[in-house]
Amino acid sequence: MRAFVLTGPGTYEVQDVPEPVAAPGEVVVDVERVGVCGTDMEFYTGHMAYLHQGHSSYPMRLGHEWAGRVAAVGEGVDAGWIGRRVMGDTMLGCGSCRRCLRDRQHVCEKRQEVGIRGGRAGALAERLAVPAASLHALPDSVDAALGALVEPGGNALRAARAAAPRAGDRVLVLGPGTIGLLVAIFLRAAGAEVHLLDRPGSSPAFAHTLGFEHVWDEQTLPELPFDAVVDASNAAHLPPRALELVEPAGRLVYIGLAAEPGAIDTRRLVLKDITAVGVLSASPGLDATISAYASGTVDPRPLVAATVSLDEVGPVLAGGRPKGAGPGPKIHVDPRPATA
């Protein structure tokens, strides 16, 4: 089968590799759609922390936001999975440690992460092998594009819930990329008044098309009380800025990761009586995200700007935009062979 292989920082090949075989407890999935993520771009540049911590190494197969159809099952797996449309959890815990036994496999110290950590091959290929226990079935109303948006959506849903908005609360989201916009969409569905903070000079036009009226930059942000602030940016100066902006007794949610650490004054955190939450993984939010997509409560499909082939992944990882791409921040990949 064909697979996109990252061979080093800035270097890649689309290779013919052996097809995966379903080991005991695993399934093989025919991949239909894969999302390109900021984490994938960090691996492309060589800046991803896991590379320097020994959790990941080249060559590697990326792709952790995916949807497809089960083609084969291994020993011990219910054959009823065959033919079902699914997506899968990225975080694969060891299953036996204290954290896994408490349903916190997404922070298992020995975890693998599909397409990211521990040598577990990702979905930028025609087929993918994953544990059956990581699968989440997709209803007919959740198509391939939506299925590949469940993983980022699960992260965003958890961040929106951590902000704990009550109807009418005003929430500020820093960084309207894919995750930031998904957070904003979930917050709006919960009844919050949502404001977005973008980089200076960025156009608010796309956010406006999604129905968000309050889009600012750091020069135009009005002095308003924000009951919660969600930092979905990659800017090191914004975590402490979020603490400045949130109302006393409010909530801070950190889901973005900067290349450099940001300094937070814990004295201010205490004196403002702030609740601060970090969100790492979509795992606890996957089922609820699928339900929200299936019911139409949330529709993130406008975020997808283009769908490309495996041969077009490299330029996307380098920051390029496919020809004819729409205004959304997310690029999808269809790894299936082109039909005549």
Could you read off the pLDDT of 202-247 as tens digits, one per residue? 889 999 999 999 999 999 999 999 999 999 999 999 999 999 999 9
Same domain as 200, residue 178: yes
- The C-alpha atoms of residue 329 and residue 305 are separated, in whole angstroms, by 6
* Residues 6 or more apart in contact with residue 340 via CB below 8 angstroms: none
Same domain as 176, residue 268: yes
Any domain includes 288: no
Query: Could you tell me what percent of the chain has a pLDDT over 70?
Result: 99
Domain count, the chain: 2
Q: Note the pTM of the prediction, 2 decimals.
A: 0.95
* Residues 6 or more apart in contact with residue 130 via CB below 8 angstroms: 26, 27, 29, 88, 92, 114
* pLDDT surpassing 50 at residue 340: no
* pLDDT surpassing 90 at residue 185: yes
Same domain as 142, residue 13: yes
Structural domain containing residue 251? 155-278
* pLDDT surpassing 90 at residue 152: yes
| pLDDT of the residue at 203 | 85
The H helix count followed by the E strand count for the chain is 11, 17
Dig out the tokens for 334 from the structure: 């269809």
| pLDDT of the residue at 223 | 95
Give the single-character DSSP code of 256.
-
Confidence of residue 339 (pLDDT cuts 50, 70, 90): low
Same domain as 161, residue 117: no
Give the range among 36-45, 154-163, 198-207 with minimum mean pLDDT.
198-207
User: Rounded to 5 degrees, what angle do the CA atoms 235, 236, 241 make?
Assistant: 90
Average pLDDT along the chain:
96
CATH of residue 249's domain is: 3.40.50.720
What count of Cα atoms within 13 Å lies in the side-chain half-sphere of residue 209?
A: 10
What count of Cα atoms within 13 Å lies in the side-chain half-sphere of residue 329?
A: 20
| pLDDT of the residue at 19 | 96
pLDDT per residue as tens digits for the range 86-109 = 999 999 999 999 999 999 999 999
Nearest CA to 177 out of 292, 256, 237, 254 is that of: 256
Same domain as 144, residue 53: yes
Q: Indicate the burial class of 254 (C-beta count within 10 angstroms; 0-12, 13-18, 19 or more).
A: buried
